[in-house]
Structure 1
Amino acid sequence: MRIIFPSLAAMLLAGCASIPANDAGQTPQLSGAPVPASIPSDLPRIARPSHYSITITPDAANLTFSGVSSVDLEVYEAADALVLSAADLDITKASLIAADGSVMEMQAALDPEKQTVSFANGETIEPGKYRLDTAYTGTINTQANGLFALDYPDKVTGEDRRGLFTQFEAPDARRFAPMFDEPIYKATFDLSAIVPADQMAVSNMPVASEKELGNGFKQVTFGTSPKMSSYLLFFGLGDFERMAKATPSGTEVGIVAPTGSGEESRYALDTLAPLVGYYNDYFGVDYPLPKLDNIAGPGQSQFFGAMENWGAVFTFERILLNDPAITSPAVRQQIYVTQAHEVAHQWFGDLVTMAWWDDLWLNEGFASWMETKATDHFNPEWQALLGRVNGREYAMGLDSFETTHPVVQKIRTVEETNQAFDAITYQKGEAVIAMLEAYAGEDIWRTGLQDYMQANKYGNTQSKDLWQAVEKAGAPGLTTIADQFTRQPGVPLVMVEGQCVNGSTKLALTQSEFSQDRREEAAANPQSWNVPLLISVGDNAPTRHILKGSTSLTLPGCGTVIVNAGQLGYFRTLYADDMRADLTKTLPDIAPIDQMGLVYDNIALAEAGYQPLGSALDMLSAVPQNADPVVARSAVGIWSDLAGYLEGEPEEAQFNALIAQKWLPRLQQLGFEPRKGEKLIDANLRSALLGTLGTLGNPEVVNAIRSRFAELKDNPQALDGPLKTTLLAVAARNASAEEWTMLANLAAKSNSAVERSTYYRLLGASKDKAIAQQALDLALTDKPGKTVSASIITSVAQNYPELAFDFIRANQDRVDELVDNAGRSRFITRVVSSSDEPTMLTKLEAYRSTLDADEAKPVDKAIAALRQRIAAAPKMRAGIKAWLAR
């Protein structure tokens, strides 16, 4: 039964009293003072806001809005002008009202390049308290920047609908109203909107009042927010429904979704409620707002999937709503993990916020780490801790190039802020935190976090504040390790030799640096870390050590040695040949998490030239056919990547047959169809096996999928179910021109925004170059939708990166319209990520020469990675061939 809750204004507003007045006050270190010089700012540091009152009137049909805003602020020193952040606003009226009621009419001068506006009237603005009133108009965007629109089909009628949403992180609240749009300038917000009477408006706080205005309009006023940074403000409007429930702590949680979503919201709602209580307990601070909504937006972004607006999380529908017709087990898992991440942000990021974007990882790394902890707590059978190894591996892949950056990085421009949302910030941040938690111990670590949260709630911090809190809780030496792993880039390399002597294991350990593009330089002059090790010998309990440079250890017992037991360390391990051979022999018997870490390490070390590829392939082959499903899924992914090196080579069929010989029996054991009551990780493995074996052209798998796919011609629901996306992906890769047209027609007719975008994206997956070009041409039409077209281009790039790149460059202005401002600099780097062609390198270097320095950083990374792939591909190809020929 679908439950749609109306606004419970009186009950929810009573919850505002749960925010203590002293807690919502000024951040202690900034009370009565401007932003200190130690915190970066693009504003003059002469004033601070305390409260905003904003009323907007959106015109969704014409993609414009008007607004009036009042900012209560304090000026700390005499000035000729007040400077606030503003972008793409036309400010038509401005006045400054002093505490005595005197009014100064102001002139507004916008600086589009700096994204600021100066208010002045030729007179000196003296220190004191003021209110700045403005009236203005702005643009509703078609990509997720500022206030933006998403168009989608009505789930019942298929008619066109338009919803409005906001995305302000990092620098886009200034597109909504003139603001002090930087994290350090926290203030409270009153938001009001004049909207169509038959639509639902939603924001951070519950609705305080609704006033009918006539002519089909109403004014909705929301409750006053707690003190927060401007990028966390949210507004949404549309034909929505809300499913909600109360939590034991008193917070009401809800899922806001397009009308007709019904029970698709149930899974997210039922899993949202327990997360609030879990985080209340873990952080030692109760969630302070009266409600927490998660708002589903149809469409997608090239920059983000969800956003942690305080009390009003925004998540794209494809990773929030559970549609049985298309949601796979992997996506259902992603729904949970994404929500766990965004709810963790309500504390780490919203309640306590980094002072400047340099410390963005304090938000994202911790939310990533916490999402894994919460997921493992509530769903231990999903093996979330094993999944963390995948994230660490992805981060190391970026972090081992000269173009990497530290976790705590220097951010000075808007473009640099946009680029900071990467795997170093998220996955390396998570891996380092997991390592530091292991170093401190879970209890001490949690005590330190709780002390940190209590001391800094409603305020802003830097990384050092957290380290000091954990050290004070009982983890001496943690700051040194934390600074080394967060303030210098790169990946430590631990080289180990060992032997058994008289019943003990003698180890010689040396710390170096792992690099993919400067191996000799890194070996000759490596960076230095204090590396936490957890070493296991045979069946003995692991022991903790800190490696500084080189050391020798004698450990009791003999047997297989694992230097990074439990895979909590952020480093690669290069074992002596005999030790690596022993690890390969015993791999089937060691813990699954160590199987994953060792295989990833050895493949990466071989690809970078540290050791022979043959021994790495031996270790990969040692992963047993009956391995843990998460381990097996990772192994299958590695086999698939390696197969790419032999595409078009005489040995391709032999290698693909070897993969099928190894893994087809596991698929046959699982069955080609989902089974009632099976584990989610088994279902994920089935999808991975079908996808990999189907992509590699295994006849049994391809024929089974094509048989199912053919049913779509007469029955559009023929593939509905948890395998739909997997089956479509394989079929789309092998689709004929007639079948491609059928998919395009199914996309156009679907009433599901998620299904429609899936069909359109997969239209770009064809291995037929002519069809791939047809898909690119489709991307520039209005048919897919403004936020979907870019995904067609990236889909084409998986098979034809150079074709996609050339298409983008030939249509740059039109393609730019399909990508959020924040995602443009990284979009083209994803397009070339599968290339290993020298001609692509030449084109990419030419493109890089057209960019400003801050825009070029992602392209520099792509160039470095492409150079490495070009250099590594012949060696990897030869290594695989030699291994096959043994």
Structure 2
Amino acid sequence: MRLTFTAAIAALLCLSHAQAADQVPVGRLPRTVVPDKVAVELKIDPAQTRFSGTVRMHVQVAEATRVVWMHGRDLKISRARIMPRNGANQDFTVAEADVSGVLKLTVPKPIQAGEALIEIVYDAPFGQLQGAYRVKPDGNDYVVTQMEALGARNTFPGFDEPGFKQPWDISLVVPNGQNAVANTRELRSEKAGEGWTRHVFATTENLPSYLIAFAVGPWDIVDGPDLPPNAVRNYPVKLRGIAAKGQGARMKYALANTGVIVAAQEAYFDIPYPFDKLDLVAAPDFSAGAMENAGLIVYRDSLMFADEKSEVRARQGYWGTHSHELAHQWFGDLVTMPWWDDLWLNEAFATWMGNKIVGQLQPGFHTDRGLMESALGAMGEDSLASTRRVHEPINEFTDIESAFDGITYSKGGAVLAMFERYVGEEKFRDAIRAYLRKHARGNATSADLINAIAEVSDDPAGVRAAFNGFIDQPGVPIVHVGAKCDGPKPLLLVEQERYLPVGSVAPKAGEWLLPLCVRYGDKNGLHEQCGLVGGKSATVELQTDACPSFVMPNANGAGYYRFAMSPADQANLEANFDKLNEREQRSFADSVEAAYAAGAIDSRTFLGAAARLANAPVRQTATAPLDTIGWMIQHLARNDAEKQSLRDFVGRIYGPRLARMGTVPKAGESDDDRLLRNSLIATMAGTAKQPALRADLAAKGRAVLGIGGDGALHLDAIATDQRGLALRMAMEEGDAAVFDVLLAHLSSSQDPVLRGQLLGALGSAKDPALAARARALALEPGKLRRNELRTVIYGGRDDDAARQASRAWLDANFAALEAKVNPGGASLINGYVGGMCSVAEADSVVPKFGQRMSTLEGGPRALAQAVEEVKLCASLKTQQSRAGVQLP
């Protein structure tokens, strides 16, 4: 049949529309149908393997369509119907169209534009540490949730993207006598049939699906002190702790210190806490450290059980994680990114803000050092060719998990800190307040935040360009700085390129508009100078008439960049090391580490600098060389004699410091002294392998276990901070009898901190048969919590034979292990490649794991980065082997 031109065009348009409707949206969903309110009722019995639910979504249909795309994974849907305001009701035909959980709902006749109600009735299995999942820590069954990033679609059908943000009505039907909590306060409870109670909760604020949360079971629910009114909020907020049965009293410290954190954040934001109550859930098994669900924050229970007597890292971990999650109540919950490419707006900001608030409230924690340390760690990841941008496009579901990494959290946090310092604290704070007020209860992008910060600066265009340069391109700048004093004014010659380690295949291309701050000394004292510096090379005139005696290219260590200098300028800087502040000394240490990894210096030069750094006043700087020295022992030393020479060197440069401190904690000493002592003891026992110290620690570890005594645990046999190391030494120096005692105590304990210490010891077993027994625990049903699995999976691999055995086991059991740690299964590849340092080993990984990793959340990038790191290790080994191990 012949068509007129007009008819032909119309036919083509219809065909194009039909093809578009059939194309599965593995990334963002189309906006043809958008929800404006969602009601979810779930019927949950924690003792069962499945639950059921009904979801009613009020939606706006933008244009006529026969297809509605949404999300749902592993759901058994018994009825799905659309009821338009104008039009006949229709039943959907539902198909799961993609492994990521994309649902295609089709009706016989087009749904017309306008309002409609979608109703879906279904049942589903409980998840594995995502979605709604079950835990059984104490013989009782509990249900808790983790919706981010893709868990919501395992729990209810819907529009599972951060850009779909609307109010929710949640109802939970649970067995009589069970407790139920959700994001908002409970409005009422009522009978829901024989043996069941319906709990109805207040309508939420606008929220995306990934922030919906609930918990069901025989939870302890304990009241904390209400968050009192203050200058920002004129009403109290209800605060509660939720823990497994019998554990609620352990949340006293966590609840008592919540109010001061919230008040400090309210004062910073000048916006009241945004939700109607605050519940803190201590989950007995949880994959992440914590999750910022609006009004119902979920934590690993160990974080919520810290108190004044806990080891330093546990207590500081509580403050840091809690402040991070509370910051999310504004940054992420009140204002949400529209898509996962802007995840850094949530996580980088909470990383920066959490450290800032804890630094104000607990100055002895020195959180600025911790933030700097995490930024330096991110620089390692950011030096890879396979790294990603902070503001990285997310095209499909396997990309999303990759965004939860050091680039998002630590690099993003460091970039925020750098621009806060450059713009000024007060101006930066004012920009954050304006941004939150403008976008409250809605969504905002990177451009929205950057524009807000740029507008309060003295150079909006420059700050905007500089900020975008750091989030929209990958890599770490390295700045080559040299002083020139042969003209009327001293100058700094500045060149920049991308920092790359030896063997990198990444291009050196990259150019940043740098917020460059330098500190220099001359006859008139110390000076600091800042400015935006761009171009491959630039000249900066110093604001002095005297030639500087030294230049520190990263004043206050605030810049997210590395630096290099000529040998003469580097020598001048090292000679003035004591004039640098603590952050600048750490930045100097990083420049030495980076130079070694780039092949610019050999082991003699590095170890000479390490001897100086070992006496630096700040813990992080003093211990900075240890990872590289450990690498030398494992990969560079050609024989046992060279390994021992490096161990002896470690003992010589760190031993006197430990001797001065002593191995026993002192009353009233700082947290930092305790942490440094613990690091030095671990170094002497582990890296230096000093026999007397190892024997002493092993004896104390056996005393903790009651070996040779009554067989009972004696937790006070050694300082709390040293207990985990002592238990590991007992196992490393012990035999099957020690293993059996450790295992027996593990089986009888529900204390999450002690369990972690016992498992760490079991995982450190050296004997091949015992190491195999430790790994087998990961597969034994009900033996370990799922967040404990990695402790034994990655343990006991200090020599090549042990690593080979571990790899063979992980390869053989990959599917079972991945299912247990899902959605974090992609990280298992790091356990497999650990210790590899040859091109041949790297080339063997992709054929074995390429297919397995291709459909895992975060799998493709995790595989690429693991293989690249092995090849870089091989290149560095080749480069540094030319000179070999040379002690200074």
Q: What's the TM-score once normalised by structure 2's chain length? A: 0.89
| Paired residue type of 1:466 | L
Instruction: Classify 1:591/1:334 alpha carbon distance in 2 versus 1 (closer, same or farther; 3 Å).
Output: same
Per the alignment, residue 835 of structure 1 pairs with 836
Per the alignment, residue 808 of structure 2 pairs with 806
Per the alignment, residue 54 of structure 2 pairs with 68
Does the residue aligned with 2:436 lie in a helix, a strand or coil?
Answer: helix
Per the alignment, residue 527 of structure 1 pairs with 510
Is this contact kept in 2: 1:511–1:547, CA < 8 A? no
Per the alignment, residue 791 of structure 2 pairs with 791
Shift of 1:707: 1.6
How large is the Cα RMSD of the aligned pairs? 2.5
Deviation digits for residues 299-319 of structure 1 (CA, Å, limit 9, x no counterpart): 342xx2211111111111122
1:151 corresponds to which of 114, 125, 136: 136
Per the alignment, residue 199 of structure 1 pairs with 178
Shift of 1:646: 5.7
Is this contact kept in 2: 1:365–1:429, CA < 8 A? yes
Q: What's the TM-score once normalised by structure 1's chain length? A: 0.89
- The reply to whether residue 699 of structure 1 matches residue 691 of structure 2 is yes
Per the alignment, residue 577 of structure 2 pairs with 587
Distance 1:564 1:92 in 2: 62
2:868 corresponds to which of 856, 864, 867: 864
Distance 2:463 2:595 in 1: 29
Residues 492-503 of structure 1: matches in 2 within 5 Å?
492-498=477-483
Does the residue aligned with 1:54 lie in a helix, a strand or coil?
Answer: strand
- The reply to whether residue 460 of structure 1 matches residue 447 of structure 2 is no
| Paired residue type of 1:750 | S
1:568 corresponds to which of 555, 558, 568: 558
2:64 corresponds to which of 69, 78, 88: 78
| Paired residue type of 2:869 | A
Instruction: Classify 1:722/1:780 alpha carbon distance in 2 versus 1 (closer, same or farther; 3 Å).
Output: same
Deviation digits for residues 567-590 of structure 1 (CA, Å, limit 9, x no counterpart): 111111011101212222332442
Distance 1:638 1:587 in 2: 21
Residues 384-423 of structure 1: matches in 2 within 5 Å?
384-423=367-406
Residues 79-98 of structure 1: matches in 2 within 5 Å?
79-98=65-84
Does the residue aligned with 2:66 lie in a helix, a strand or coil?
Answer: coil
Shift of 1:450: 0.9
Per the alignment, residue 614 of structure 1 pairs with 604
| Paired residue type of 2:827 | R
Per the alignment, residue 186 of structure 1 pairs with 165
Per the alignment, residue 666 of structure 2 pairs with 675
Residues 131-146 of structure 1: matches in 2 within 5 Å?
131-141=117-127, 143-146=128-131
Residues 247-646 of structure 1: matches in 2 within 5 Å?
247-249=227-229, 250-301=236-287, 304-322=288-306, 327-475=310-458, 476=460, 477-498=462-483, 505-516=490-501, 522=507, 526-538=509-521, 539-548=525-534, 549-555=536-542, 556=544, 557=546, 558-623=548-613, 625=615, 627-636=617-626, 639-645=629-635
1:227 corresponds to which of 206, 214, 220: 206
* Greater mean deviation of Cα atoms: 429-438 or 873-882: 873-882
| Paired residue type of 2:738 | E
Per the alignment, residue 713 of structure 2 pairs with 717
Instruction: Classify 1:609/1:626 alpha carbon distance in 2 versus 1 (closer, same or farther; 3 Å).
Output: closer
Distance 1:726 1:117 in 2: 50
Is this contact kept in 1: 2:100–2:397, CA < 8 A? no
Shift of 1:828: 1.4
Does the residue aligned with 2:817 lie in a helix, a strand or coil?
Answer: helix
Deviation digits for residues 415-472 of structure 1 (CA, Å, limit 9, x no counterpart): 1101111111111111111111122111211111111111111111111111111122
| Paired residue type of 1:553 | V
Distance 2:789 2:614 in 1: 41
Distance 1:62 1:40 in 2: 32
Shift of 1:839: 5.1
Is this contact kept in 1: 2:81–2:90, CA < 8 A? yes
Does the residue aligned with 1:84 lie in a helix, a strand or coil?
Answer: strand
Per the alignment, residue 645 of structure 2 pairs with 654
Instruction: Classify 1:254/1:610 alpha carbon distance in 2 versus 1 (closer, same or farther; 3 Å).
Output: farther
Instruction: Classify 1:790/1:612 alpha carbon distance in 2 versus 1 (closer, same or farther; 3 Å).
Output: closer
Distance 1:635 1:241 in 2: 46
Is this contact kept in 2: 1:300–1:788, CA < 8 A? no
* Greater mean deviation of Cα atoms: 784-793 or 101-110: 101-110
Shift of 1:100: 6.3
Distance 1:463 1:798 in 2: 44
Distance 1:268 1:665 in 2: 38
Per the alignment, residue 749 of structure 2 pairs with 750
Shift of 1:842: 3.4
Is this contact kept in 2: 1:74–1:129, CA < 8 A? yes
Per the alignment, residue 688 of structure 1 pairs with 679
Is this contact kept in 2: 1:517–1:864, CA < 8 A? no
| Paired residue type of 1:307 | M
1:115 corresponds to which of 64, 87, 101: 101
Does the residue aligned with 1:561 lie in a helix, a strand or coil?
Answer: strand
Does the residue aligned with 1:553 lie in a helix, a strand or coil?
Answer: strand
Structure 1: any 5+ residue segments left out of the alignment? 1-38, 154-159
Is this contact kept in 2: 1:150–1:298, CA < 8 A? yes
Bigger relative CO (Cα 8 Å, ≥ 6 apart): 1
Instruction: Classify 1:717/1:461 alpha carbon distance in 2 versus 1 (closer, same or farther; 3 Å).
Output: same
Distance 1:215 1:735 in 2: 57
Shift of 1:624: 5.2
Is this contact kept in 2: 1:240–1:257, CA < 8 A? yes
Instruction: Classify 1:198/1:735 alpha carbon distance in 2 versus 1 (closer, same or farther; 3 Å).
Output: farther
Per the alignment, residue 16 of structure 2 pairs with none
Does the residue aligned with 1:766 lie in a helix, a strand or coil?
Answer: coil
* Greater mean deviation of Cα atoms: 617-626 or 58-67: 617-626
Is this contact kept in 1: 2:46–2:217, CA < 8 A? no
Distance 1:335 1:203 in 2: 23
Deviation digits for residues 818-838 of structure 1 (CA, Å, limit 9, x no counterpart): 211x21122212442443245
Is this contact kept in 2: 1:63–1:140, CA < 8 A? yes
| Paired residue type of 1:707 | A
Shift of 1:324: 7.6
Is this contact kept in 2: 1:762–1:792, CA < 8 A? no
Distance 1:371 1:752 in 2: 27
* Greater mean deviation of Cα atoms: 111-120 or 398-407: 111-120
Shift of 1:532: 1.5
Structure 2: any 5+ residue segments left out of the alignment? 1-24, 230-235
Does the residue aligned with 1:474 lie in a helix, a strand or coil?
Answer: coil
Instruction: Classify 1:369/1:880 alpha carbon distance in 2 versus 1 (closer, same or farther; 3 Å).
Output: farther
Is this contact kept in 2: 1:187–1:227, CA < 8 A? yes
Is this contact kept in 2: 1:204–1:235, CA < 8 A? yes
Does the residue aligned with 1:688 lie in a helix, a strand or coil?
Answer: helix
